[in-house]
Every structure is written in C-alpha cells, then in structure tokens.
Amino acid sequence: MENFKTLVEEMKLYFNVTSLEMVAEKLGLKKSTAIGWRQRKRISSHAILKFNQLKYKQNNYINSVDKNLQQTEKINNKDTILIPFYKNYYLSSDFINDNNIIKQTIPFNKNELNNMFNLQEFLKMGIITMIGNSMEPTIKEGEMVVFQKDDSSIEGGIYIVEYQKEILIKRLKKRPLCLISDNKEYPIIDIKKSKELKIIGRIIGAYKIDYKKL
C-alpha cells in the first residue's frame, strides 16, 4: 500500500498533474486504466516501465550491478518480485562505466515472468533498455532486456559483460574466448586474458512495450 501511494505521488509530481487518471493519460493510456490501479492498489508493470523510460531516457551509464542484483530477493508478497530497473545505463555496442548508479525496483508478478521467460527461480535479476543495434536482429533497440546473475558461462549464450572497463552485451564464445555481436557489421572481440572478462549477468529475454492512444 505504501509503495503504491509513494509511486502515485512521484508520478503526479513528475507529470505535474493532480489525479491518477491524468497520470494514465500522460502515459498514453485511457483514463479508465487508473480505476483498476486504484482497486488493486498496484500500478501495472508495463506502466511503470513506460514511466521509467520517460523519466530516465537521458541517463546513460552504469558500472556494477552485483550488489544491486541482490535486491531482487526482496518480495512484496508470495506472488510478486521486485526487479531493479537500471536507469543510469547507456547500451550500445560499446559504452563506458560511470560511478553513479540510479536504480528503481519494478514489481512483477511471478506467473507473468514464468510465462514470458519460463523462469523457475527469480533471484538476482535486473532490467535495462537496449540502445544500439549491435545485437540485432536478436535484441532490437528500444527493447527491455531482462538479465539474471546465475554464475553461468554458457557457450553461445548472450551476456552482459565488463571487459577493459567497458560494459557490453555480446554472445559468448569460449574456444577461442571471444565476444560476438549478432549484427555481423560489428567485429568479433578477442579476449586475450580471461581474467579481464567479468560476466555480470546472462540475458534471459527481451520485450518491447508499445503505446498507442485511442
């Protein structure tokens, strides 16, 4: 309840409006959508993601997610999990670290996550926004990328990695050790020293939210 009230006040303040119906309208939704939010005492996940995209689209850096990924173990109730949405994150073929990490947790229904990505465990997860075309057609620019720190290093898997002080999303090849973009216009990155490569998380899926006002 308290989280719902806090989020509503934050949204109203950001859009400079006085009602939840006006917030829904600002997000490109019907005003009547706010009725369901108010009855359930919960803003829908896709509306929160849209709000975060609008609010933080100018922010563009992140340097480490290990500590924040632990926060996904905090559960609102038996059916809900809080997933960090990384707002200081600029994602392209290559981008630079920054010391300022701004994060907001987004509530997700476990059944929805399971249906979307066939997940059985819901620990150490995070969400970022894809910017750039280095992983097209697999991951397209603007899609929401969901990742999980599971300590794996699967051959051919797609990972968020840190290499030579840069954060990258690439496909992992072990022999020889290198990072590959699905967009063939990008060169293969050969890893000279394995200890210089840090795996932050494995990409488990991506989705895009489109809004159309009717």
- List the structure tokens of 169: 């999303």
pLDDT at 157: 95
Closest CA to 61 of 105, 101, 103, 106: 101
81 neighbors 121 (Cβ within 8 angstroms): no
* pLDDT in the model for residue 143: 87
pLDDT classification of 80: cutoffs 50, 70, 90: confident
Quote the CA–CA distance of 101 and 59 in Å, as a whole number.
Answer: 10
Q: What angle do CA 37, 39, 44 make, to 5 degrees?
A: 25
Task: Say what the pLDDT of residue 68 is.
Answer: 56
- 27-41, 65-79, 100-114, 175-189: which is most confident: 175-189
pLDDT digits (tens, 9 = 90+) for 118-168: 887 888 888 888 878 899 999 998 888 999 988 889 999 999 888 887 778
Q: Which residues contact 203 (CB under 8 A, 6 or more apart)?
A: 139, 145, 146, 147, 157, 158, 159, 160, 169
Q: What pLDDT, on a 0 to 100 scale, did the predictor assign at position 176?
A: 92
Q: Which of 86, 81, 103, 54 shows the shortest CA–CA distance to 211?
A: 54
- Residue 41 pLDDT more than 70? yes
12 has a pLDDT exceeding 60: yes
Mean pLDDT of the chain: 78
Instruction: Determine the Cα–Cα distance for residues 156 and 201; give it in Å rounded to an integer.
Output: 14
What is the model's pLDDT at position 100? 47
Global confidence as pTM: 0.60
Q: What is the pLDDT of residue 142?
A: 82
Task: Tell me the pLDDT band of 9, cut-offs 50, 70 and 90.
Answer: confident
In which band, very low, low, confident or very high, does the pLDDT at 71 lie, cut at 50, 70 and 90? low
**Residue written as token pair 């300590």:** 151
Encoding tokens for residue 8? 């509503």
> Of 186 and 214, which is predicted with more confidence?
186
Choosing among 1.20.1510.10, 3.40.50.740, 1.20.1260.10, 2.10.109.10, the CATH entry for 80-207 is: 2.10.109.10
| Cβ-Cβ contacts under 8 Å for 159 (sequence gap 6 or more) | 153, 169, 170, 171, 172, 199, 200, 201, 202, 203
Mean pLDDT of 6-10: 85
pLDDT for 57 beyond 80: no
Query: How confident is the model over 174-206, as pLDDT tens digits?
Result: 989 999 999 999 999 999 888 889 898 999 999
Q: Where are the domains of the chain?
A: 4-66, 80-207
83-110 pLDDT tens trace: 888 764 444 333 334 444 545 777 888 8
